[in-house]
Structure 1
Amino acid sequence: MNELERDRLSRLWEEHVRTPFPPNMRRREIEGEDMVHLDASIAGGVSSSLSEPFDEKRRDALLSCLAAVEKVLPLINDECGAIEHYERLCEMAALAVEIGNAGPR
């Protein structure tokens, strides 16, 4: 992964932590996916990828979350910025997996 992609992930992460969680996604499940848990799982993986070496277990967990968020995105109503929120999570997960695939820094 090049520095531009790493910078993009850092900017998306900063935006994510500044943006409130969409209230309509609390206690919500779509296609068997708990939306709060999905958010937290991706956020944890992204945060780890930015701060420490990325291992195979974390990469696999993020790949699973990426598949889940891609599955539910078309089913999210755009209330309270929910689509934007989960699209950002999707992009961050994909970039973090790329960082992990690039190996140690």
Structure 2
Amino acid sequence: MNEAVLIEVTVLWAEHLGAPWPEELYQVDDRDGDVVEIDGAMAGCISTYVQERGVLDAKRSRILQACARDLQRILPRLRSEGARHVRRLIRIAELIGRSEEAVTSGS
């Protein structure tokens, strides 16, 4: 477990939880997934990661990364607060993914 990653994820997650839901996200065309559902799925995974102090099981890890890929496809259609909301979730998923790769590779 990488303590620096856990701290950064925890800070970003607290910021995310304190931010209002961008109305723009209700308007997004959902051909790449429903942002509300994606957000909820990611919330469960990220909360678990934070509560377990940097540990995430393989199933949640796969869900988190799949959701982040969906958000990457949605991101170009967003502006301002919606884009900031989605970028933050993608960043958290990237941090967790890199942290897990380091553990798997033995770094």
TM-score (norm: length of structure 2)? 0.81
Q: Deviations over 1:27-80 (max 9, x none)?
A: 6433331011111111111111111241111111111111111111112133xx
Gaps of 5+ in 2: none
* 8 Å CA contact retained: 2:61, 2:97: yes
* Counterpart in the other structure of 1:39: 39
Q: Is 1:68–2:49 an aligned residue pair?
A: no
* Counterpart in the other structure of 1:97: 97
Aligned length: 101
For 1:44 and 1:97, locate their aligned partners in 2 and report how far apart those are by CA, in whole Å.
Answer: 15
Q: Which runs of 4+ in 1 moved over 4 A?
A: none
User: Aligned letter for 2:70?
Assistant: A
Gaps of 5+ in 1: none
User: Aligned letter for 1:46?
Assistant: I
- Relative to its length, the structure with more helix (as a share) is 2
* Counterpart in the other structure of 1:25: 25
Q: Deviations over 1:5-37 (max 9, x none)?
A: 211101001101100110121264333310111
Q: Give the SS at the match of 1:30.
A: coil
Matched-pair identity in %: 28
For 1:49 and 1:96, locate their aligned partners in 2 and report how far apart those are by CA, in whole Å.
Answer: 8
TM-score (norm: length of structure 1)? 0.83
